[in-house]
Each structure stands twice: as structure tokens, then as C-alpha cells.
Amino acid sequence: MPELDPDRQRVTLPGMEPLEGQTFAGYEVVSLLGRGGMGFVWKARQPMLNRFVALKIMAPELAADPEFVKRFKREATAAASLMHENLVQVYAAGEFEGQHYIAMEFVEGETLRNLIERSGKLDPIEALDITVQIAQALQHAWNKAQIIHRDVKPENVFLTRQKEVRLGDMGLAKTVGGPTTSLTQTGMMMGSPHYISPEQARGLKEIDFRADIYSLGCT
């Protein structure tokens, strides 16, 4: 993720026009937060409610692929169906001038990856507290809708300044027992190599919440 002055630096990235200072789908874009596997994430302001949001906009080069559009929409649907204090909340999703987007809760803080790199080995009590909060988020997703995250890793764990956890990035989330698509064919590995469970590494379709528990342990 590029280092940015959150309010002043203007960036130009391949595949995406600079948006700072522009209005996108009613949101006033402030600055780039980073890029993930599916697109760019911007800090933006929602004037009507006077709040900041994290605005994820699908990368243009992926928007032409129907399978990636399905995955992007699935992320919005999965996250919007869950309401929990330890999950990043989705406010809205849609398409604006041919670009797919998700407006989410803006977490003022840092990722668990940033914390580990900055602090080194975490205090055991702090590590336990973070682990419990992630587990609570995963438990809610499973109990509420049998949703498994499938991509639990430090980069997807956001920490507020009060060290409250928000688990985000539901791009690989899957409802167990729900319909499958070519995105989840047998033999296709889904997730991040250093954190996925053995069954994910083998590309098995029939996985459940135990895969997330394994990834949490690796995290």
C-alpha cells in the first residue's frame, strides 16, 4: 500500500483515473487507501450523513470479466447480510458510470499486519484479545448465515485506535450449502497461501468453518 498524506497527495495508478477531489456515486473522494485483489479502496466522505467511508471500486481490468463481477457482488451481499461489532459494515453497493463499488465502514486505525510490522511480537494479552474478537466475528458469520470467510489474514483484520477489531474483505466469502460457481471449482485454490487450510490448498469445494479456524491460528 502506498504511503499517502490522507488529505493532500494525489496519485495516479494503472487502470484507474485519479479520483481525489471528485464525486463518485454521491461520495466525495478524499484519498487513496490502497489496492487489493479486486480493486482500489478510497477514503471518501458521504455528505448527506457527514461521515467518512471506505469506497472500494472494482479495478477496470476486472470489470470486463463476468466471474470477477460475480465475486465482487458476492462480497457486498455477504458482508451486508451480517451485522456485528467485529465485522466491517457495508453501507451500500452499486454501479456508477459502469464501475462497480462498495461503500463500507471507514476504520480509523491500522491493520493487524501494520501493527505486527510496527511492534514486532505482540503482548500475549493483546494478541489474545484480538484473537477472541476475530473469532467472535467468524462465529457470528457462521451462526447467522453459515458464511465462511476463506481469507482470514493480518491484512484483512482492521484495528480501531481503541484496538477494536473489524474483520473485512469478504471477497472470498462463501455460504456453505449455497450455489457454487466456476469461481469455486474443485481444484481451484481460494485464499492466501500462507494462511489457508489444507483443504483449501487442495482446492476442495466441501469446506466449512474449520477452514477459518485454521486460518485464524495462522494469523
3-state SS, residue 33: strand
166 and 104 Cβ atoms separated by less than 8 Å: no
Count CB atoms within 10 A of the CB of residue 2.
10
Element (H, E) at 94: strand 90-96
Is 151 known to be catalytic? yes
How open is the CA angle 106-78-116, to the nearest 5 degrees? 50
Nearest to 77 by CA among 144, 175, 143: 175
171 and 36 Cβ atoms separated by less than 8 Å: yes
From the list 5, 7, 151, 169, the catalytic residue is: 151
Cell of 182: 466456476
- Residues with a catalytic annotation lie at 151
